[in-house]
Amino acid sequence: MSFLNGSSPRRHAAESDIEAGPSARRSADLDDGDFSDPFDIARTKNASIERLRRWRQAALVLNASRRFRYTLDLKKEEEKKQILRKIRAHAQAIRAAYLFKAAGGESRSEPIKPIPIPTGGEFPIGQEQLASISREHDTAALQQYGGVVGLSDLLKTNLEKGVHGDDADLLKRKNAFGSNNYPRKKGRGFLMFMWDACKDLTLVILMIAAAASLALGIKSEGIKEGWYDGGSIAFAVILVIVVTAISDYKQSLQFRDLNEEKRNIHLEVIRGGRRVEISIYDIVVGDVIPLNIGNQVPADGILITGHSLAIDESSMTGESKIVHKDSKDPFLMSGCKVADGSGIMLVTGVGINTEWGLLMASISEDTGEETPLQVRLNGVATFIGIVGLSVAVVVLIVLLARYFSGHTKNSDGSAQFTAGKTKVGDAIDGAIKIVTVAVTIVVVAVPEGLPLAVTLTLAYSMRKMMADKALVRRLSACETMGSATTICSDKTGTLTMNQMTVVEAYAGGMKIHPPHKLESYPLLRSLLIEGVAQNTNGSVYAPEDANDVKEVSGSPTEKAILHWGLKLGMDFTAARSESSIIHVFPFNSEKKRGGVALQTSDSDIHIHWKGAAEIVLACCTGYIDANDQLVEMDEKMTFFRKAIEDMAADSLRCVAIAYRSYEKEKVPTNEDLLAHWSLPEDDLILLAIVGLKVRMVTGDNVKTAKAIAVECGILGSYADATEPNIIEGKTFRGLSDAQRDEIADMISVMGRSSPNDKLLLVQSLRRKGHVVAVTGDGTNDAPALHEADIGLAMGIQGTEVAKESSDIIILDDNFSSVVKVVRWGRSVYANIQKFIQFQLTVNVAALVINVVAAVSSGDVPLNAVQLLWVNLIMDTLGALALATEPPTDHLMDRPPVGRREPLITNIMWRNLLIQAMYQVSVLLVLNFRGRSILGLSHDKNDHAIKVKNTLIFNAFVLCQIFNEFNARKPDEYNIFKGVTKNYLFMGIIGLTVVLQIVIVEFLGKFTSTVRLNWKQWLICVVIGIISWPLAVIGKLIPVPTTPIKNVFTKCGTSGSGRKEREESQ
C-alpha cells in the first residue's frame, strides 16, 4: 500500500493543524464536530440522527422544503426503518416455520411423492411454485421436484452451460417469470418543484402584497393604469419561482440518473457454456451464476455447488450472523452478500418475486444526505438571515414612522400622508408599498439558495466526474475529497494497470526460458496443469471453431496463470474432468493463498496450493527436479528465495504453485466434517514459482512494493526505502497504538499488508488529524473503506461489498481518476467560496444602500421588483454561473482545505468588503447628489428622481455582472483565465446583460424605471468596470493568515483560560 500525502508542510505540522482541533479531544471530536456549534459537523458519514436534528432546529428557514431538499429526511428515514423491520420479521417468520416443519419432518420420514407438474405455458413449472420454494425455504418441495437437477430440467437449463442466452430464449423467460427489476416510485414532477418554490414565506407575503396592491391600484386608478404596481411584483415573484423550480428540477434529474447508475451492478453469468458480463437487470430465471467472496446475490436462487460458501444475510434478516450454505440449506436470498467461499447458483426468482424486490419497491429511493459544507452553509445563511431580518425590521419601522408622521414627501414636495385628509385606500396602498420593500429586503438578505448552491455544484461535479470515470455514491465524499491530506492506495490495478502475464518461471530446480517450455518434464507438467485448471476461480471458454481465440475470465492474477497453463498445453475442460473436487479453501487476503483437494481418476488424493511465493515456499519440504524426481528442499531453499527476491526487485508479482498427495482414509466423508476440514498445508512439494509482470499498499512483497514506489515517485530514491518510510504490515501491526500514531505520518509504503493493517493505519492517520482517502477492492477492505473519510472502491476488480462500503467508485481502476476526484473535490469547495463572496457583496451593498436611504430620506432607490431581479441574478443565476466552474491546475498547487477552516477566508473578506464599500459609496453619492452630478437639476422633479433611481439600479446590476468575473478568481490577478471555455458562465452573463437592457429600456412601467440615454449608460458601465482594476489593487493588500474568527476568539480569551487549555493538551 502506498500513501500519497498532501503538501508536506501540512504533513509535518499535523499537531498544529487547525482541522484537527486540540489533541486531547481529537479522537472523540473527529467525527462529530464541536457540540457547542450545531452547524459544525465535521463528518456526516456516521453522524447520529440527534446530531443532524440539532442543526436543522438551529437554522433560520423561510422555505424548509427548498432549504432541506437534498438533506436526509429524518421522518422518511424512520419510516424506512419500520418497513425494513416488517419485511425482516416476515423473512424470519418464514424461516422459523421452515425450521419447525423440518424438525417435524425428521420424526416421521415419509416417502417423497413427486409433485404433479402443471402443463401449459413455455415451462412445466410456474412462477408461483418457484416463489413458494424460494421464499419458504421448502426443502421437501425442492426434493419432490427432483432437487436442483430436477428444477433445472423444468427450467430448461443446463447446470454447467447455463441457458442458451439467445434473444428468443431470454424473452420467453422474461414473459414467464418476469424481469429482474422492481417498480420505482415515480420521481417528483416539475409542478411539485414549483409548489416547493411557492412555499417560501417571503414570496407568499409578496404575493399577498401584490394582490392587495393590484386591487387598490385598479380601484383608485382604473384597470388601464392601476395594475402595473401589483402586476409587476406578481410577475417578478412568478419569474423567481419558475427559474428556481427549473434549476431544482434539473438537479433532481441528474441525481435520478446517478442513482440508476449506482444500482446497475454488472456481474458474470454462464450462458451457452461461456462466462459473459451482463447488467443485474438482465438476469432471467434459469440463469447459472458463479458467486465469489464479496459478490451480491443478484436474485433468489438455489445453490448448485458450493465450497465453504458463507452468506451474510443481515441485509434481509437484520441479524449479522453468517449462514453457511450447502445441499441441506441451498436457498439463496437476493440482496445478501457472499462473506466467504465460492459457489454456483441457479436463479429461481427475479425482481418483484423476491423478498429483496418487495423491499426495494416499498422503500422510496431517497437521495437525501447532508454534507458538512451544506450544514455549515446553513449556519452562514442563518447568520446572514438574522442580520437581514433585523435590517428589514429597522427599515420597516423607520419608513412607517416617517410615512404616518408626514415626513415622506411626494416628488412635488407635498406630504404623502396627512392625518384626516389622506383616503384610507391611499394610506393602505402606501403602507403596503413600505411592507413590500421591507419583505423584499428579507428576500435579498436571507440566502435560501446558499445551501442549495452546494447541491448544484455537487450535482454538476458528479456528472462531470462520471465522465472522468468516478461514480459518486455519497454526496459528501465529493467535497470531503477536497480536504484529503492523505491517500492510501493499493498498488495493483490502481497505481499500475491491472493486466498481468507470466514472464518468468522457476521449475525443476532451475529457471525455465521461455517460461512455458516444460515438454521434457511430463510429471511436473501434468501436475501443474492439474493444479492450474482446478485451483482457480477463473475459467476458459473454448469456442466451437478451433481457430477462434480462447476466452479466459477471472481476476488478473488468475487470468495470467490460466494463459500460462494454456501455453503449457492445458485443455481446461479435459483437465477439470480428469479429477473431481472434494473441498476448496478459497483464496483470502489474510492467508494470501488458496487450496483445493482433488480426487483423481485413480482415486488418489491431491492437494494443490497457490499463493504468495514466500508464504507457500515456507510450507514446502521438497520439489520435483529436472528428472521428474522428488528431491528434498535443503540447500535449494536458498536458491528459490533468491529467485523470489530477484523477481520482486524487477517489480514482478511472485506466485508459487505447490502440491502434496494425501491418504484417502484421512479425508472426512461426513458432509459437515468436510465443510470444516482444514486442508493440510505442510510437507508440500514445490512445482513452480512464476513471476507475473504487472503491466498495468499492497499484498505484494516489500521489494516489489519498493521497486514500484520508486518508479511512481512515491519514494524519491532507493536511499529513502528504509523504515519507517517503508514498512511491513506485520511490523506495523506489532506496534502499540501510540507507536503507530508516532510513525503513521512518516510511512510512505507498506508491503505485505493485510486489510486489518490498512484499517489500523487509517485510524492512526485520522487520530493525527488527517483527512484520509483509501482505495480498496476486496471484501476485507470494507472496514478500512468504511472507517476512512473517503472510501474509493475499484469498479472493475472491486467486489460488491467493497463498493457498498465505499463513497466513490473508480470505474477504470486507475489512480489518475483518483487525482481527478481530488481536483473536483477542491473545485467544489472553491466554487462555493466564489459564490459566497459574490453573494455577500450583493447582500452588504443592497442592505446598506436601502437602509441609509430609508433612514435619511424615507425613500428607497431600489424598489421591490428591482430587488427581486437582483435576487434572481445573485441567487439562482449566480449559483449556476459560479458553481459550475471547472477545476484548474492552480487548485492542485494549494494545500488541502482543513476540515475546520473558515468558509469565508481573510482573502474573501478583503475582496468582498472592498467591492461592497466601493458600490455603497458610489451609489449613495448618486442617491444624494445624483441630480446635480448627472445634470438633472433643470428637469422636472418627478422625472429627475426616476432617472437618478434608474441609473442607481442599472449601475448596481452592472456592478454585480462585472464583479461576477472578480469572484471567479478570488486570489489570482488574471480573472479572465479560461473564461471563454466556461460556456455556461458566458451564457448567463450574456443573458443577464440582455435582460437588464430589456428591463431598463422597455419594461419601465413594471419596474418603475425610465429609459437612459447613451451617456447615462456609459456612466453605469464605467461605474461597473472600475470594479476590475479595484479588485487588482485589492489583491495587493496583504491579509493575515490567522482567520478573523480566531483573532476575535483570542481577544476574548483570558490568559488563564489559555494556560488551562495548553495544560490539558
Cell of 928: 444624494
Nearest to 909 by CA among 832, 841, 960, 827: 841
User: Cα separations (Å) of 102 from 147, 319, 324?
Assistant: 16, 21, 17
Coil, strand or helix: which one is 783? helix
DSSP string, 729-762: HHHHHTS-HHHHHHHHTT--EEES--HHHHHHHH
Q: What's the rounded Cα separation, in Å, for the pair 808 and 791? A: 6
Could you tell me the sign of the dihedral formed by the alpha carbons of 714, 719, 723, 724, in that order? Answer: negative
Query: In the annotation, is 490 catalytic?
Result: yes
Q: What's the rounded Cα separation, in Å, for the pair 114 and 144? A: 5
Q: What's the rounded Cα separation, in Å, for the pair 907 and 1003? A: 39
Q: Given 3-state DSSP classes, what are the helix, strand and coil percentages for the chain, each rounded to the nearest 5? A: 55, 15, 30
Residue whose cell numbers read 452547524:
39
Cell of 797: 476488480
Coil, strand or helix: which one is 584? strand
Q: Which of 17, 138, 196, 490 is catalytic?
A: 490
Residues with Cβ < 8 Å from 665, sequence gap 6 or more? none
Q: Contact 572/540 with Cβ under 8 angstroms?
A: yes
User: Cα separations (Å) of 179 from 131, 274, 280, 742?
Assistant: 14, 22, 10, 55
Cell of 1025: 468596470
Residue whose cell numbers read 491579509:
1039
Q: What's the rounded Cα separation, in Å, for the pair 20 and 470? A: 28
Residue whose cell numbers read 480498496:
776
Q: Contact 446/384 with Cβ under 8 angstroms?
A: yes
Q: What's the rounded Cα separation, in Å, for the pair 392 and 442? A: 6
Residue 306 DSSP class: E
Q: Which residues of 922-946 are buried (b: 16+ CB within 10 A; e: fewer)?
A: bbbebbeebbeebebeeeeeeebbb
Q: Contact 1028/962 with Cβ under 8 angstroms?
A: yes
Longest dimension (CA), the chain: 124
User: Cα separations (Å) of 658 from 507, 619, 695, 811, 849?
Assistant: 11, 9, 25, 35, 84
Q: Contact 512/800 with Cβ under 8 angstroms?
A: no
Element (H, E) at 726: strand 726-728
Q: Tell me how long the chain is.
A: 1065
Q: What's the rounded Cα separation, in Å, for the pair 876 and 444? A: 12
Q: Contact 261/466 with Cβ under 8 angstroms?
A: yes
Nearest to 940 by CA among 408, 410, 415, 412: 412
Cell of 281: 437487470
DSSP string, 71-97: S--HHHHHHHHHHHHHHHHHHHHHHHH
Q: What's the rounded Cα separation, in Å, for the pair 674 and 624? A: 29
User: Cα separations (Å) of 738 from 742, 767, 789?
Assistant: 6, 10, 21
Nearest to 489 by CA among 737, 217, 174, 817: 817
Residue whose cell numbers read 414627501:
409
Long-range contacts of 735-738 (CB under 8 A, 24+ apart): 737/764
Catalytic residues: 490
